[in-house]
Amino acid sequence: MEKKEQLYEGKAKQVFATDDPNLIIMHYKDDATAYNGIKKAQIKDKGELNNKITTIIYSYLAKNGIPTHYIKTLNEREELCKKVKIFPLEVIVRNYIAGSMSKRLDIPEGTKPSNVIYELCYKNDALGDPLINDHHAVAVGACTYEDLAVIYDLTKKINLLLIDLFKSVGIILVDFKIEFGRTNDGEIVLADEISPDTARLWDEKTHDKLDKDRFRRDLGHVSEAYQEIYARLERLAA
Ligand code: TMP
């Protein structure tokens, strides 16, 4: 399998074609951005750590019946994945209130809501990835209602599996963002990364933040937090 031209470059990753039209290579960078690209920096070893963390999480989800784009990890920064057409949607799951929901509705961070909260954002840089609802998603052509039913079903299962996984290593899964794509065979699968870039992860005992909020909020020890998440998951996976 041969690495070919770059198909796409995002804020934290690049996607390369391969000589197989059904496969792509995802490359993890150390670049970090926040607030829609206004804040930018490099986080030492982030690419390698997010690749390793995503590998452990995707392997665990696949073992538990979740269809994903992941095939195998090629090296410290690259994964071989199925080529998918990504739905232009960010699916956000909140088990505890934090971040934008805390600000928008003036609810203290760490509050546990009576129900799990699902949000959709429309992936559109020019619009700043606005929060939308199911009907907007269908109206703008991002997906169909049938697609959404599959996406929500998978998202609920993924949330339960991830809560368990992180609980077993002493971490509270506060919230996270996932994305879905459709393979060339028409299957809807989980795609993109799951890492401290895309989830809020708090230590169960101290409530220390072990995720990208350390970068967003200038809390320091960013790389160390990602390292800590990897170390705990690696021990479990070993
Ligand atoms: P928020 O509180 O800023 O809306 O973020 C909720 C969760 O989703 C948090 O874990 C960060 C993640 N997220 C992303 O990974 N990418 C994004 O573009 C957004 C808006 C959130």
Mutate to test the pocket of ligand 1, among 107, 198, 215 (most ligand atoms within 8 A of CB): 198
Angle at 41 between CA 201 and CA 210, to 5 degrees: 15
pLDDT digits (tens, 9 = 90+) for 187-225: 999 999 999 999 999 999 999 999 999 999 999 999 999
Spell 29-67 as b/e; 16+ CB within 10 A means b.
bbbbbbeeeeeeeebeebbbbbbbbbbbbbebbeeeebb
- Ligand 1 atom at minimal distance to the Cα of residue 102: 2
pLDDT, the chain, mean: 97
Contact (CB, 8 A) for 173 and 163: yes
Segment 62-89 mean pLDDT: 98
Q: What confidence score (pLDDT) does residue 112 get?
A: 98
- Minimum CA distance residue for ligand 1 atom 7: 176
The Cα–Cα gap between 141 and 148 comes to 12
Segment 54-72 mean pLDDT: 98
How far CA 136 is from CA of 94, 153, 177, 184, 203, in Å, comes to 20, 19, 19, 25, 36
pLDDT digits (tens, 9 = 90+) for 14-26: 999 999 999 999 9
pLDDT digits (tens, 9 = 90+) for 176-185: 999 999 999 9
Segment 28-39 mean pLDDT: 93
